[in-house]
Structure 1
Amino acid sequence: MEPILFYGVPQGCSFGSIVALEWLGRPYRLCRIEMLQQPWPAGYARINPMFQTPALLTAEGRPLAESLAILQHLAAQDLGPQGLGHVQGTPGFDRLNEVLAFLNTDFFAAFGPLWLAYEREDLDDGKKALLRTLGAEAVRKCFAALDGLLAGREWLVGERRSVADAYLAGIARWAGYHRLFDLGAEYPNVARHLGKLHADPAVAFADAIERKAPSTSVGAFRGHVSLDDALQGLR
């Protein structure tokens, strides 16, 4: 069977997994999860009992959760000279693991206070202001590290694109959503890199998919499936 990616909207971190699947170029399907609709369908617990996205139903019918695990699963299918991943045990693999871990932990978590201030209606203005201040400080620290990493470099890992670049495309856009800073003025290397990514057809496709806008796959997208239909392939 074709793998199925369960992606969340709006502004889901699953965005990067869609980009990676497009770059991989192998047949896949998508299952849309409206994260703001509560409660989530009970059947989703069979895919991920934490009720989070992304999740992947592999070609073997095995559920796989967490962005880091999904992206490494996809990278392992493309280990050629221009592939998305690196052979385990090589310096390239270690570097990819390191960058993915940074993006999936420090970078992702830095936005946590900002999302909390945005979503929690029960917090007073003072608490929300404190959360925004703490979040902005953490995000700036991460963007500074990324700007240094990308100085004189075309991609996050080595001389070719990888699943780390795909993941970055989905997470870094949150800085613009929260209107934290002038990216081009303060972090020019990150701005250059994100400009290149946003011009990529796979990134444009993922953006259109999230917005339910007309979209053209440059990979091997085979359409959407419902959660009920997706569960039929679970083993």
Structure 2
Amino acid sequence: MSIKLYGAALSPFVRKTRVALALKGIEFESVHIDPNNTPEGYEKISPMKRIPALEVDGQFLADSAAICAWMEKTHPEPALYPSDAMEMGQTIWFERFIDYDLAMRCTFAVFRNRVVMRLLGKECDEEKVQHALSTTIPPLFAYLDKTLDGRKFLVGDSMTVADIALASQMVNFRHGGETIDPATYPNLAAHTERMHALAPFAQAIEKETGFIQKVMG
């Protein structure tokens, strides 16, 4: 089986996919795609020209959720989706909530302005960052913190793709110069610390941090 993962390392959705692939022991080839300047013909791989995309023996999948679902079906161990029907539904809900609602604040408001815009030679919209930090992020963090009260994982008793998705967004939040206040959100902070200690996350964070520091000074 020949597998290629198209994307950019700093994308939380690509990182989420890479971590899931690593946890399942799936070997793959990385193909760099700049989401701000996709190559001609990339729409044949990813119709909306987004990252990540996966190529498996000449067939293509776009979107991290679709790719992770494919992984679970073809490589069921270790399981990243619960077998219980209700917990499966909850996992899908959290994955979507994190990939859309949380990502809009942590990645597209904070990380994109403070890191990506500078890498592109453009101005950071700090007003937008501060609005996210003071207004739109706190209720989402509070919801996640309450969900994690007395729990190690978002759903059930073992790690799911929802936990991976959340931890990946928190990497971008960190790259954007922010941390989770453990006094305000102790459960979310503890969850993030545990997840980021996993080898695939720890290695990615070290490599990405080095790249950002080198490029941005």
TM-score with structure 1 setting the length: 0.74
**Of the two, which has the highest radius of gyration?**
1
Contact 1:79 1:86 survives alignment (8 Å): no
Number of the residue aligned with 1:68: 65
Q: Which residue is 1:150 aligned to?
A: 148
The offset of 1:210, in angstroms, is 4.7
Which runs of 5 or more residues in structure 1 are unaligned?
214-235
Tell me how far apart the structure 1 counterparts of residues 81 and 74 of structure 2 sit (CA, whole Å). 8
Residue aligning to 2:159: 161
| Separation in structure 1 between the aligned mates of residue 26 and residue 179 of structure 2, nearest angstrom | 37
Residue 189 of structure 1 and its aligned partner are, at CA, apart by 0.9
Output the CA distance in 2 between the equivalents of 1:45 and 1:63: 11
Q: What is the Cα deviation at residue 208 of structure 1?
A: 5.2
1:114 counterpart = 2:106: no
3-state DSSP of counterpart to 1:5: strand
> Which residue in 2 is equivalent to 1:132?
129
TM-fit CA distance, 1:166: 1.7
Residues matched between the structures, number = 205
- Quick one: distance in 1 between partners of 2:80 and 2:168? 16
Q: Distance in 2 between matches of 1:169 and 1:157?
A: 14
**8 A Cα contact 1:14 1:170, kept in partner:** no
CA contact (8 A) 1:12 1:53 kept: no
**Aligned residues of 1:150 and 1:190 also touching (Cα < 8 A):** yes
Q: Distance in 2 between matches of 1:92 and 1:182?
A: 26
Gaps of 5+ in 2: 212-217
Alignment of 1:9-88 (within 5 A): 9-35=9-35, 39-58=37-56, 60-79=57-76, 83-87=79-83
Q: 1:115 to 1:197 in 2, by over 3 A?
A: closer
The structure with the greater share of residues assigned to helix is 2
Query: Which of 184, 188, 192 matches 2:182?
Result: 184
The 1-side partners of 2:207 and 2:34 are apart by 13
Distance 1:165 1:116 in 2: 22
Structure number with the bigger relative contact order (C-alpha 8 A, sep ≥ 6) is 1
TM-score between both structures, scaled by the size of structure 2: 0.79
Displacement, 1:79? 4.5
Letter in 1 for 2:33: I
1:168-201 Cα distance to aligned partner (Å, 9 max, x none)? 2211122223334553232111111111111111
Matched residues in 1 for 2:102 and 2:31: separation? 26
What do the CA deviations read for 1:28-54 (whole angstroms, capped 9, x no partner)? 22222244xx63321322211432211
Name the SS of the counterpart of 2:182 in structure 1. Answer: helix
Matched, 1:102 2:97: yes
* Equivalent-residue separation in structure 1 for 2:22 and 2:207 (angstroms): 12
CA RMSD of aligned residues (A): 2.8
Tell me the secondary structure at the aligned position of residue 183 of structure 1.
coil
2:43–2:49: 8 Å Cα contact kept in structure 1? yes
Deviating runs (4+, > 4 A) in structure 1? 120-123, 208-213
The offset of 1:18, in angstroms, is 0.6
Q: CA deviation at 1:117?
A: 4.0
Query: Can you list the C-alpha shifts for 1:44-88, whole angstroms capped at 9, x where unaligned?
Result: 222114322111113x432111222222222334546x511234x
Q: 2:75 and 2:158 mapped to 1: Cα distance?
A: 12
Q: Counterpart in 1 of 2:168?
A: 170
Which position in structure 1 is the counterpart of 2:202?
204
Matches of 1:32 and 1:209, distance apart in 2:
15
Cα distance in 2 between the residues matched to 1:16 and 1:183: 23
